[in-house]
Amino acid sequence: MKFTKMQGTGNDYVYINCFEETVERPEELAVKVSDRHFGIGSDGLILICPSGQADCRMKMFNADGSESEMCGNGIRCVGKYVYDHHIVEKDEFDVETKAGIKHLKVTDEGGKASLITVDMGIPEVTGEVPEPIMIDGRSYEFIGISMGNPHAIYYMDEIDGLDLEAMGPAFETHKRFPERTNSEFIQVIDRSHLRMRVWERGSGETWACGTGATASAVASILSGRTENTVEVELKGGILSITWDRESGHVYMTGPAVEVFQGEFDPENL
């Protein structure tokens, strides 16, 4: 089976072109290919598939095999793949996801996609702003935002010293979130700049999360911490997020990189 390894601001996935390949048990395959010692190594598996509603379809699976509704970094890489490999012959197109159809716009450099802007849709506030919560005997406040998948945003004085490996599971699986949640830990630098670490549902700490960066920007704008355009600095790079308050839509712009291509035998993983 052929695959392509891609990353968006360090959020890395194994991509399979299902216009050419057939994946029968993607949940199992996601666990195998994501293993960084015995597999290829990634935050999950993304299938690039035909769609009856859009130019292509993205199916995204976390490293634990659970299927997710949407992935902001992943969809930028899907956009780059279908553009660079001429599956889609235009610089604006639609991608079907479990969170709905997303519109993408490509910035071309030398015939290849470099930056990609994604219309992330209209965010949904999922609780009080802010909402109190007790986790492991300590009180916090968070802002709940859905970008088609769930996010809980926590503001911290500093984030570098957080032990997310120890903290993350309790935040992800708290009873307030019956389907688990992605948790974003935010340090506000100024009114146009956030720093963020993320504990992703089903994958643990990752170097970036596009939907999480988008949700965090929305939460920061809603709570009066930033302007309507903000740069979100993640471990793997910077994403630019703009919330058009008139239309309600949020736009994410960032890079997508093809790292390498290869082949593997699923039976050997």
Q: Is 62 annotated as a binding-site member?
A: yes
Q: Is 72 annotated as a binding-site member?
A: yes
Q: Is 17 annotated as a binding-site member?
A: no
Q: Is 149 annotated as a binding-site member?
A: yes
Q: Which of 49, 56, 77, 209 is catalytic?
A: 209
Mean of the per-residue pLDDT values for the chain? Answer: 96
Distance, CA of 63 to CA of 113 (rounded, Å): 26
Distance, CA of 177 to CA of 199 (rounded, Å): 14
pLDDT at 26: 97
pLDDT at 20: 97
Q: 176-186 pLDDT, tens per residue?
A: 999 999 999 99
Degrees (nearest 5) of the Cα angle 222, 173, 133?
45
Annotated active-site residue 18? The verdict is: no
Provide φ and ψ at 6, rounded to 5°.
-135, 160
Q: What would the mean pLDDT of 200-210 be, rounded to a whole number?
A: 93
Q: 20-58 pLDDT, tens per residue?
A: 999 999 999 999 999 999 999 999 999 999 999 999 999
Q: Is 182 annotated as a binding-site member?
A: yes
| 147, two tokens | 């970008």
Q: Which of 18, 49, 71, 77 is catalytic?
A: 71
pLDDT at 223: 97
Annotated active-site residue 209? The verdict is: yes
Q: What is the pTM of this model?
A: 0.93
